[in-house]
Amino acid sequence: MLPPLVAPGAPLTAAQRHRYARHLLIPDIGDAGQRRLLAARVLVMGAGGLGSPALLYLAAAGVGHLTIVDDDVVDLTNLQRQVIHDSAAVGTPKVASAAARVRALNLDVEVTERPQRLTRDNALHLLRGHDLVLDGTDNFPTRYVVNDACAELGIPLVWASVYRTQAQVSVFWKNPPTDAVGVDLRDLFPVPPDPATVPSCGDAGVLGALTGQVGSMMATEAIKLICGVGEPLLGRVAFLDVLGGRQFEIPLHPRTEDFPEDDPEDAYCQLPDIPSVSARALAAELASPTPPVVIDVREPAEVALVAIPGTLHVPLADFLAGPPAFDPDADVVVCCKGGTRAERAAAALTASGHRRVRTLTGGVLAWIDDVDPDLPRY
């Protein structure tokens, strides 16, 4: 058991004793634990699928100060899982929508809105002064930045990741108190994984109810750390497989081999420069007597939702296993949903000897926006 992260704050008011009565009845939390929660300062990275339930339960629990960091706006597709937002919030900043919901839920909670992207340049400034950080982001470059800033500042980090119907949850703390062994994200992932193996939920899909389950687990880990109760997932990674109805954990130990801690964004930018074409320009080329070959590397379920007419469909995994064989001098445009997977496929095609390879700037979403807005977005 770790010592409490936060000292108890001011005595509870009569209204607070009433509001948090169910916490006060738990011997491990009680009056002192609730006062610790009210005195805590917690930063939540991302007001999306994981941040939404985590924020709601932290606010309901009476965590006294919540900082929300997110530079995105609410999209209709978010509402399948991001339960802190509603239909009226579509098109508005996620930070503003989430903050309004938190304030409506609990007036005891002070909220700081940070509608900006976390980078190496601002991470220490944004995270400093908080007792705890929850990372609900969905990309490894940002996860490494959050992890490294927490390690430098000595702040514990509750981390989770969701892929379709599976999830991982853990607690990272590089230099914990007492004799606990410190670990962080780099012990679990010493080097960034291949981007092709970790698609975002927008590319791979995600079971909405699973994000609620995992976000609630993150809030629970935060409460345990703040109050100094139970056994936090420090040094352990919990794995959830909801379709199989299974949950298990593996131990996480400090890495014994030194790996270069380069800028994770650089590690994701080692692909060759591939020319690109805008959606409008591609539409004009497709209407010409000599149209290019357009290859869509999205998954079959994505193509079933929406596709550019006349494209050749080859899922990225199949593409990387062996790019399709055709004239190496053919004019080829590779597309995906937004562009990341297309860059990967185009690099592989170029490496195999094809000389006229481009990507579609902004992917299928740009085609919908600029060429055929009647097509469905996802």
- Residue 80 near residue 93 (C-beta atoms within 8 A): no
Q: Which residues pair with 93 in a beta bridge?
A: 73
Catalytic residue (one of 201, 227, 269, 335): 201
Q: Quick check: is 227 catalytic?
A: no
3-state secondary structure of 113: strand
Picking from 33, 72, 40, 364, the residue whose alpha carbon sits closest to that of residue 230 is: 33
Distance CA 70, CA 47 (A): 6
Q: Quick check: is 336 catalytic?
A: yes
Q: Residues with Cβ < 8 Å from 292, sequence gap 6 or more?
A: 282, 285, 286, 330, 331, 332, 333, 358
Question: Nearest-5° angle of CA 272, CA 273, CA 278?
Answer: 140
- Residue 280 near residue 370 (C-beta atoms within 8 A): yes
Q: Residues with Cβ < 8 Å from 20, sequence gap 6 or more?
A: 12, 34, 61, 62
DSSP codes joined into one string, 142-211: HHHHHHHHHHHHT--EEEEEEEBTEEEEEEEBSS-STTPPPB-HHHH-SSPPPGGGS--HHHH-B-HHHH
Distance CA 233, CA 235 (A): 6
Q: Which residues pair with 69 in a beta bridge?
A: 45, 114
Catalytic residue (one of 150, 227, 335, 336): 336
Tokens 């380069």 label which residue?
Answer: 262
3-state secondary structure of 271: coil
Give me the active site residues, please. 201, 336
